[in-house]
Structure 1
Amino acid sequence: MNQKPDKLTVAAAFLTAVAVVLGTGAPVAASAVSRDATVWAFAAYPAADTPPTHKQLRRGLLNLSDMPPGFALTDRGDDAMGDLFMTYAPCDMRPGEPDYEPLPTSVFVRLAKGDAGPDLVEAIGATGTKLSREMIRSLDKVVDHCPVSVSPGATTTIRRLPFPRFGDASIAIRVIARHRDGYRVSTEHSMVGIVASRDVCIVFQLSKADELSVQDIKTIMRRGTRKLRRIG
Structure 2
Amino acid sequence: PFKITRGIELERKYQGKVACFGRLYKSKSGKEYPRINFHTNKHGGITETWNGYNAEHDNPIPFTPKPRQPKTKDNSDEWRTKRFNAAKALFKDLPTETGEHSYLISKFQAQAPDVAKLTDIRRGADEHGSYIMVELMRSGFVAGYQKIYDKNIKSRETNKDYIVNAEGKNGAYLLIDGDSDKIYITEGLATGLTVAFATGNTVAVALDAGNIIHVAESLAGQNITIAADNDAGNNGNTGILKAIEAAKSLAAR
TM-score category, normalised to shorter length = under 0.3
If asked which structure has higher relative contact order (CA below 8 Å, sep 6+), I would say 1
TM-score (structure 2 length as normaliser) = 0.22
Larger helix percent: 2
Structure ranking higher in strand proportion = 1
Rg larger for: 2
Q: What's the TM-score once normalised by structure 1's chain length?
A: 0.23
